């Protein structure tokens, strides 16, 4: 399979046509080998309009949705980025010139993507997703869905920092952009999206008799 050709088709048919006009972002998506974020036997599915599994239930976000999230955060070279449950996004951010860290709760994910992340200059951290890696970040992104406002993640944003994530409580969620200001945090809804929920961040159901 010609992965470079498939990558161009992905950008042309899934990214550009969905109002992702940032040329630097388009170039980064063309450069990062998305197929290497999947086990070899599933590499062929990297450029389809699906959410293929990396490992342990972790999946790649649709290229359309991720590219729109990344355009919304307006990442700048030299900024610091934290990608939670988002190893592919971490590599794209590194290509954009950010100091990028990928955090996962399951080492099995890094067993698949660790080599390509190292080549892309991305640091890796294994820790629960509700405990973001130490540091202060200008950009935070997530390729999974969360059940509500992720306050633990917002606390590690610098002033002026942006967090892009999908909040989902039902079949369809909302991609949301948070921006930290001097006086607090603003929230703006962006578009509908339905990536898989991050199971470890979902509330534990309580049953009453």
Enumerate the domain spans of the chain. Answer: 3-201
In angstroms, rounded to a whole number, what is the distance separating the alpha carbons of residues 84 and 120?
17
Extract the tokens encoding 87: 């190893």
> How much of the chain, in percent, has pLDDT values that exceed 90?
94
In tens, the pLDDT along 79-110 reads 999 999 999 999 999 999 999 999 999 999 99
Give 138-174 pLDDT, tens digit per residue. 999 999 999 999 999 999 999 999 999 999 999 999 9
In contact, 106 and 58? CB cutoff 8 Å: yes
Q: Is the pLDDT of residue 201 over 70?
A: yes
Residue range 51-65, pLDDT digits in tens: 999 999 999 999 999
Is 178 within 8 Å of 138 (Cβ atoms)? no
pTM (predicted TM-score): 0.94
Q: Under CATH, which number does the domain 3-201 receive?
A: 3.40.50.150
């Amino acid at each position: 399979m010609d992965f470079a050709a498939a990558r161009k088709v992905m950008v042309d048919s899934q990214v550009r046509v969905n109002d992702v006009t940032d040329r630097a972002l388009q170039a980064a998506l063309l450069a990062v080998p998305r197929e290497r974020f999947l086990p070899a036997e599933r590499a062929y599915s990297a450029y389809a309009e699906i959410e293929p599994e990396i490992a342990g239930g972790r999946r790649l976000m649709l290229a359309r949705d991720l590219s729109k999230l990344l355009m919304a955060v307006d990442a700048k070279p030299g900024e610091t980025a934290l990608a939670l449950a988002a190893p592919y996004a971490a590599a794209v951010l590194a290509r954009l010139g950010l100091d990028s860290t990928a955090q996962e709760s399951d080492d099995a994910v890094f067993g698949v993507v660790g080599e390509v992340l190292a080549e892309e200059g991305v640091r890796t951290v294994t820790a629960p997703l509700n405990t973001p890696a130490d540091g202060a970040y200008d950009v935070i992104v997530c390729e999974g869905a969360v059940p509500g406002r992720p306050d633990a993640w917002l606390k590690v944003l610098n002033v002026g920092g942006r967090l892009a994530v999908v909040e989902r409580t039902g079949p369809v969620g909302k991609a949301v952009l948070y921006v930290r200001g001097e006086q607090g945090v603003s929230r703006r809804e962006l578009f509908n999206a339905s990536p898989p929920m991050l199971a470890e961040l979902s509330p534990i159901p309580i049953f009453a008799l």
